[in-house]
Structure 1
């Protein structure tokens, strides 16, 4: 495995933001503080600051408590910074390049997973941790082969090769890999069913919540709880069958910790709220806020563990903004925003139920029943017209649903508006709790987190990526 310096002259020639070394990130030597035996990195994928903000507003107003993430700020429990999110090919990153910056310690072009502009292949961070005896794993609400978990695990030049990524994972024999993406492992996989190979290699393969909860730590685990992404949290919470069959992100996270926490050399875990990003791409306000709250629930459970454990560095962040949603001023903004508590289903679920043969009244009734408000007949006509106008190949919209038009309609009833439907180049929140967090400076670049984590865990100097 390649542990050599990978960022020598000219590697980042295509990027206007220069590389800075670890000394620019770390205020004092991490060796002077307690070692982080465990590292948990939590990523709410595609989380604009407005998403964090609105989830906290909802939590305070409807649930009566602060969100766990912002509660860390209010209680002065965590260290906070801003992080840039550029890739080697653009100021606006995709999730593959963003995760690779953390996983490989260098910037790569959008679409690539730990393959540099000159073909360099840095050893991903979970491979490094595994090599030194830690248990390692990833959990996510999207396919486990998706860009964010894969960026911590493997080297491949095209993030789209998820069936290949599934096979690459097999050889790594990581300890816990859980999320969606059954179609990239099972009988529907283009290259053949991999699950028998995982079983032969000693894996325990689980496919529902009960099987996951019954796991012990005797074998490495592959958990596949959906063909593609897991359901949106707002849909899961209002479907008894989904609640029984599909674990929440918090449940997956705590099971992963439970399976790895007794290892004498500790563990490293990546946790991703991946459907936050998908909801932002869809301008889906209930999908967005309730999946952010599901991520926040996982944050709270992880912080509880870390407070008791005392040897765990928790990193909470996002890889980039997406669509920059926010609650906008209006006379009844408070009342309209509070109406989100009446939503039983996401826009994706609702729009998938519609049929152009439905009467206007049937559509009005369907929306009122599942999202709590009554749209006007002219809005129904506009919505149906846009079923014919959808641009093909819209990201995470294989069914060509009119997300943009419906997002605009919803804005009238919730006062939540969107700036677009894609990633943004924002600087993002970076929060740390636990040993090593005291060394975080107020602003860092995304790729610098790689060495930061290695130093916090006191990994060998040969593992560090050098400028």
Structure 2
């Protein structure tokens, strides 16, 4: 008997084990050290590697400390891997298909939420966990009916049916749902406001930070803090009324955890930094960096809870890359990047106050006061010409603002460049902390996360998605 035969036959047989192929061994999940009572999955939507990197650089240079996410890497506290983000219809996914891969455990076509290419409708993961007795919820900086939270919650052919998704949430009666999207729940709906129905079903509806922070009840809560997406974090922090009325992602995360943490069967929470993606689509560096740092504050909240709790799996990732921004070389790269510390507002905030009738002097003054940049008269004139020449197809640009030209102009002032204005097919970062994190391998498919969460919580076998 050769050594390989001895290992396969003699040793395994001696241990009383059946013959197993390498494929059989690899197909089974890693033995779990401990059950996860709670799961918190944090998603920085549309986060490219450069976004993660620049947010950490900014934190070090502006605050003298590293980002919470990167500190987890430096301290070797998490299991780290890469994730293939493709959808059923494209190597380049959208957020609906990406979230569905986690929520339903299968790849669907771009634009669909948990409806497969052949009409399959896998049960979304928050519905599964709700059935097992856990409290469940989502918090986000975009509409709560948007693709990423909805991918954990519902089956619908098109992500654009956000009014219908708002109605679905009423019937599902999840425990915590907070973000933007008042237009999809309130009086702007074609069939009238849903909010009276939510109140009748026992929901607490909160519409500002004070109401959210003051809620102490046990019933389900719906928080809607903006008509559509929440303001960019850089604008929220530098606008007193917004800072007073609109909660940060970290504040929503902390509140959601506090409302669910004492439940005897535990909880599952999805947290999304949704406007990271919107900033990337707009090549909006102020919006991007500050929303990534706001997401990082939510990461710190989740990890702090998990370290103290000991029974919580934390997953930190993104659904796809977007626009692939980066800090580029040059003798002034350090100085230029540090100029971002003078930013008080996003490009969106600046451009929304300009139009074709604005004067170059007005443009120069607004950019100086809002972002600390001293641009030339020629740059101001060039920017103004593009208010009537907007690139078609830019997502989240209903006002038809010249985001591309603004970012192009900023490059020589900030040394931050962009590869495009849309999603990319990059493998992306995924990190896990706590019970169940030992399942993570160096490279996984996005669909594998679904069963990893179920395995970590040790739910019934019939909930698992069969590969």
Interval containing the TM-score (normalised by the shorter chain): over 0.9
Alignment partner, residue 255 of structure 1: 255
- Aligned partners of 1:392, 1:176: CA distance in 2, in Å? 37
Deviation at 1:374, TM superposition (A): 1.0
List structure 1 runs of 4+ shifted beyond 6 angstroms: none
Alignment partner, residue 368 of structure 2: 368
Alignment partner, residue 356 of structure 1: 356
Residue 282 of structure 2 is aligned to residue 295 of structure 1 = no
Deviation at 1:217, TM superposition (A): 3.3
CA contact 1:46–1:319 (8 Å) conserved in 2: yes
Question: Mapping of 1:55-454 within 5 angstroms?
Answer: 55-454=55-454
- Aligned partners of 1:25, 1:334: CA distance in 2, in Å? 47
Change (3 A) 1:97 1:24: farther
Deviation at 1:38, TM superposition (A): 0.1
Gaps of at least 5 residues in structure 2 are 1-22
Secondary structure of the 2:205 match is strand
Deviation at 1:392, TM superposition (A): 4.1
Secondary structure of the 1:258 match is helix
- Aligned partners of 2:24, 2:282: CA distance in 1, in Å? 37
Secondary structure of the 2:388 match is coil
Secondary structure of the 1:302 match is helix
Deviation at 1:355, TM superposition (A): 2.6
Change (3 A) 1:275 1:119: same
- Aligned partners of 2:61, 2:126: CA distance in 1, in Å? 39
- Aligned partners of 1:28, 1:231: CA distance in 2, in Å? 42
- Aligned partners of 1:357, 1:461: CA distance in 2, in Å? 64
From the CA coordinates, give the structure whose radius of gyration is larger.
Answer: 2
CA shift digits 1:262-296 (9 cap, x unpaired) = 10000000000000000000000010000000000
CA contact 2:356–2:385 (8 Å) conserved in 1: no
Change (3 A) 1:24 1:368: farther
Secondary structure of the 2:111 match is coil
- Aligned partners of 2:397, 2:166: CA distance in 1, in Å? 23
CA contact 1:26–1:441 (8 Å) conserved in 2: no
Secondary structure of the 1:353 match is coil
Q: TM-score, normalised by structure 2?
A: 0.94
- Aligned partners of 1:393, 1:73: CA distance in 2, in Å? 37
CA shift digits 1:146-203 (9 cap, x unpaired) = 0000000000010000000000010000000000000000011123210001001000
- Aligned partners of 1:388, 1:352: CA distance in 2, in Å? 14
CA contact 2:181–2:229 (8 Å) conserved in 1: yes
Equivalenced residues, count: 445
CA contact 1:43–1:271 (8 Å) conserved in 2: yes
- Aligned partners of 2:122, 2:145: CA distance in 1, in Å? 19
Deviation at 1:356, TM superposition (A): 2.1
Change (3 A) 1:26 1:244: farther
Deviates more, 1:335-344 or 1:386-395: 386-395
CA shift digits 1:362-392 (9 cap, x unpaired) = 2101100110011111111211111111134
Alpha-carbon RMSD? 1.2
Gaps of at least 5 residues in structure 1 are 1-20
Secondary structure of the 2:296 match is helix
